[in-house]
A and B are shown apart, each in its own frame.
Chain A
Amino acid sequence: MAAPLTLVLIVAVTIRAVLFSSSLAEPLMERVEVVSPLNAWKRVVEGLALLDLGASPYSGDVFHETPLIIYLFHFVIDYADIVFMIADGITAVALYLAVQDYNKTVFRKQKYALEADRYPHDCLELIRTPKEMYYIPLKVALFYLLNPFTIFSCVAKSTCGLNNAVIALFILSTIKGSAFLSAVFLALATYQSIYPLTLFAPALLFLLQRLYIPVNFYRPSFWLFTLQYAVMYLGSLCVIVCLSFFLLSSWDFIPSVYGFILSVPDLTPNIGLFWYFFAEMFEHFRFFFICVFQINVFFYTIPLSIKLKEHPVFLIFMQIAIISIFKSYPTVGDISLYMAFLPVWSHLYRFLRNIFLVSCVMLACSALFPVLWHLWIYAGSANSNFYYAITLLFNVGQILLVSDYFYAFLRREHHLTHGLYLKRKDGSEATLVLK
């Protein structure tokens, strides 16, 4: 199993190395779909240049990376290409191992359920076989490493790749059951871009499930573990933030990184929903809508955690997808992370309702982004509405994709308890509806 993974890694690295040395690398670093003001490589270099000039990198409004990123690239600026390739490799391997482990758990659970005869008899075709599950980890690595979005993001040296690596390591350590490492990586991911904060709930649920602690508010063991995990998380977050303070001996990075993410002052176009909305917003409603849009990202955590408390890994997938759709400065690198999980849910394929439509929309949008950007910015024959329309469509596509997977997942769970071929009261064949 390790050999195909190595092969995929080698292929991925080769593609990236070729692209790094090609003439594609320069224009990619300017693409608004691939880099955002938060993670553009140009801005990292600018921050380092400011540091060299003796100014704080946060004295201007160009640099919005965290101090640890400066510290990292202060040493490896000359090997940045390699760092980004390694980060992608780490993400892929971590996801590979995580999914491998997760599949084992799933399979074991399924076996127990079968032995206990808990599934209805007509559900046998929904049962997953080891044969079809065998290649899923490899497919995940493949989906991540050879996804054009990931490749572009890596070649543009968007620091989004590093954030993805941290989140992948967090998923790996969670699935492996290491509460401490999980808390540390979650703290690191939160420190990098706030939004992974919402992954706290699924990680906690998964670890509880692994330790066979039921989610019961009257049980002290539940509270004990929650407290333990929260303390580890907050403790490591605190340590990282204090470390950043000591690196530059100022708190300037807090408003410059987190204030920047939350208040969205930079309206550079990207694939998200924020930029045009707030460029066209009436000034006195601005604060209200910023609050609404930011709460929107965090809000889904609670109902999703309640609904999916038995399936924390799917919850992680949902959360990552929601973050990458509704965050303030999304890039294609964020999308590639949740897309890597799609092979894990390949058994849901039969319940997906509009996967064909969604794939077409996503492909068409990906092609139209550069075209309409060119028409607006360079040719001058289109205006901002064209590009905006494509971002809207792209986001609708993503929303449909995610909700479709959510629907399929819920439906499969329903069938696993109620049987696949449902009958009406009068014995005719029934259709399932949401009520």
Chain B
Amino acid sequence: MTAGRCTAALLAAVLVCGLTCASTAAAEEAITEEYESISNANEHVQAQDDYARSQKRREITEHDDDQNEPPPSSSSSSSSSSSSSSSPPSKDYFKEELVIRPLSSGDIYASFQFQTRWDTDFFAPGKKVSHYRLFPKSLGQLMSKFSVREMHVSFTQGYWRTMQWGQPFLPAPPGAELWVWFQDSVADVDGAWKELTNVLSGIFCASLNFIDSTNTVEPTASFKPLGVGNVTHQRFLRYAVLPREIVCTENLTPWKKLLPCGSKAGLAVLMKSEKLFHSSFLSLAVHIRPVCQDWGCKGTAWELRQTVNVVFDLHTTGQGKREWSFFKMFSRTLTEACPLATSSKVYIDVTDNPQGELFELNPAAPSLTQAVVLGDRRTYAVYDLMASGTFGLLRSLNVLLRWKTPGNFSTQVDMLRPLLHGERYVAGYGLQTGEIHTLIYNNHPYRAFPVLLLDIVPWYLRLYIHTLTVTSKSRENKPSYIHYQPSKDRLRPHLLEMLIQLPPNSVTEVTVQFERALLKWTEYTPDPNHGFYVGSSVISALVPSVVAMDTIFPESSYFVRVYTEPLLVNLPTPDFSMPYNVICLTCTVVAVGYGSLYNLLTRTFQVEEPSPGVVKRLANMIRYLRGVPLL
């Protein structure tokens, strides 16, 4: 971790240097470092976040004896928490957390995170891991069989509305997303990827088996490993999105089975599928990565994070009332923590209610904590489920939020506009050509920052890269780095990665034209006129933080990944009902050509002699038989 801290500071310097260099001299190295540092920054910023938080925690624990844990979902505080946890580090342990944030739009955002850490190495030579306790065996075997170093899979129903809801703790695109870093010992990465997607498809009951070479890419910059390790060549990375994937109960059930307590105890009892799926947004995710065992990073541990992010639309489900409670949202209440968990907490975001003048929580929170999440300082009310007093006399916890002002939705606290926001649409009409517009908003009033834009477009929309334009503030904004991999028909998609500098307070528009291909009739989906989905663009950036952070860390950027809307594009279709007719008609035309030429080639001109009539022929036949001369 110390090493990580040093590199973070160093990378920050490189980043600043890179940004200035890139604009003046387009030195290739500077650019490369720049984008690498941006994408690496994800890891480091998180690491830093962890560190900052653990520092803060120490301060807090010095002041009062409450064991304050940081709000977790945004973070990956595993490596740091081990240092400060009071119990001696066990071989594997499990933590569960639930963060609830009332959104300014009136919706409720609930984010579950279940974290399992196991201080073992799957890939240690001569050692076979076969004894599993908390870590799910199915995933562990998967990791060791396919030599997976890092795996991130998410299933999402609905689209996260950044402009209304702010940044999510863990962003995910609509549909299914899977990205995997393999160990550098893997020789046949494509083969391992193919098998892995099929196995995952079985584990999660999802259509991940539809991932093939036509929707798999190897991004060069946008997806860097989040765990420890030194493999960064994109050869070992595979990324795929299935934007059309429908997420439903059959995905949630296997997901819940991976938890040590299943859905029997702990926070997971709240996940009742008829309530979860009656929501505006639902995202299930599983993230596995290697982390350091301790500060010295002497050994690696495996971290499994399972998250559920859900946005409830209480406008419609709450019958016009803004009050919410666990029971209203989940139709369950909490009765106990998972007995296997070392920590089990519920956090409720009360930042907008510092003095308790807007709403009150019932039962009142035993303690408060503060943390900087996504560049913003938040205050959380904490309920520790391990503490005996939390459940009260009824042996159940049903947190209820009651508004003090009369319940109309207009008196909302204005949400801070997200600094980075992206949207996308298809322009043009007709089924021949079209244009993809991607709009990237930088809402920061005075700071410019670079973003990485990743676009994956299926092969049947033929992109014309020479029509690519990037404009901000009605001026051309030349990307300092472009990686473009053209598609191959029926083999691989287009991959476009760009590093774009966003001027302050601006909208940057990226447009590129495409042509719609006519496919073979068997290549269309069963509902071809519904259209074809194009996965979300991925915008990754280091966004300057609006709140000044701790003075010990002057670094004031945080990593954000924004997914745009998926596109739905119509293609021209043949008539599916008449393959036989087409084959017959075309062959007829070819035969007409062949026949007329054959006719002229093989026959010769002759004078037409009139053929004798039937009577004459009959008479001639008789004459022939009689042996008299013919007529």
Residues of A whose CB lies within 8 Å of any CB of B are 30, 32, 42, 45-46, 48-50, 53, 55, 59-62, 265-269, 273, 275-283, 293, 296, 300, 303-304, 307, 325-326, 376-378, 383-385, 388, 392, 395-396, 399-400, 403, 406-407, 410-411, 414, 418, 422-425, 430-435
Contacts and interface: CB of A to CB of B under 8 A. Distances in A.
Question: Most chain-B CB neighbours within 10 Å: which of A61, A293, A407, A430?
Answer: A61
B466 A45 contact: yes
10 contacts: A49-B466, A53-B484, A62-B486, A265-B490, A277-B582, A281-B520, A384-B573, A434-B603, A434-B604, A435-B606
B594 interface: yes
A227 B437 CA distance: 59
B600 interface: yes
Interface string B507-543: 0000000010111111000000000000000000000
Given A45-B466, A61-B488, A392-B586, A399 B593 contact: yes
Nearest to A292: B590
Nearest to A44: B466
A424 B466 contact: no
Nearest to A307: B601
B572 A376 contact: yes
Given A281-B583, A378-B431, A435-B603, 17 more contacts: A45-B466, A48-B466, A50-B484, A59-B486, A60-B488, A61-B486, A62-B464, A273-B589, A377-B430, A384-B572, A385-B575, A396-B589, A399-B589, A424-B610, A431-B608, A433-B605, A433-B607
A402 to B, nearest CB: 8
B585 interface: yes
A61 B610 CA distance: 62
A280 to B, nearest CB: 4
Contacts of B515: 268
B416 interface: no
A296 B432 contact: no
Given A276-B582, A279-B519, A399 B592 contact: yes
B486 A60 contact: yes
Closest 10 CB pairs of A and B: A60-B486, A49-B466, A403-B596, A434-B603, A280-B582, A430-B607, A280-B579, A378-B430, A277-B586, A399-B593
B575 A277 contact: no
Interface string B561-604: 00000000000111100110011011001101110110111111
B600 A406 contact: yes
B53 interface: no
B478 to A, nearest CB: 13
Nearest to B468: A49
B434 to A, nearest CB: 12
B465 A46 contact: yes
Contact of A414 (B579, B592, B605, B610): B605
Contacts of B466: 45-46, 48-49
B574 to A, nearest CB: 5
Interface size class of B (residues with CB under 8 A): 35 or more
A61 B489 contact: yes
User: Helix, strand, loop or mixed for chain A's interface?
Assistant: helix
Nearest to A285: B583
Contacts of B592: 396, 399
User: Helix, strand, loop or mixed for chain B's interface?
Assistant: mixed
B542 to A, nearest CB: 26
Contacts of B494: 60
B433 interface: yes
B44 interface: no
A435 B573 contact: no
B308 to A, nearest CB: 40
Contacts of B342: none
Contacts of A46: 464-466
B574 A410 contact: no
Contacts of A275: 518
A281 B582 CA distance: 8
Contacts of B446: none
B609 interface: yes
A416 B518 CA distance: 51
A273 B590 CA distance: 8
A282 B489 contact: no
Contact of A388 (B573, B582, B590, B601): B582
B433 A392 contact: no
A425 B489 CA distance: 66
B462 interface: yes
A425 B520 contact: no
Given A395-B589, A432-B608, A385 B601 contact: no
B457 to A, nearest CB: 12
A135 to B, nearest CB: 29
B486 A55 contact: yes
A296 B594 contact: yes
Contacts of B135: none
A268 B519 CA distance: 8
Question: Most chain-A CB neighbours within 10 Å: which of B574, B593, B596?
Answer: B593
A411 B607 CA distance: 12
B485 interface: yes
Contacts of A435: 603-606
A157 B620 CA distance: 71
A392 B589 contact: yes
A78 B606 CA distance: 60
B94 interface: no
A144 to B, nearest CB: 24
Given A62-B464, A275-B518, A282-B579, A392 B596 contact: no
A400 B590 CA distance: 12
Nearest to B607: A430
B459 interface: yes
A278 B520 contact: yes
Contacts of B609: 424-425
Question: Most chain-B CB neighbours within 10 Å: which of A49, A265, A280?
Answer: A280
B484 A267 contact: no
Nearest to B585: A392
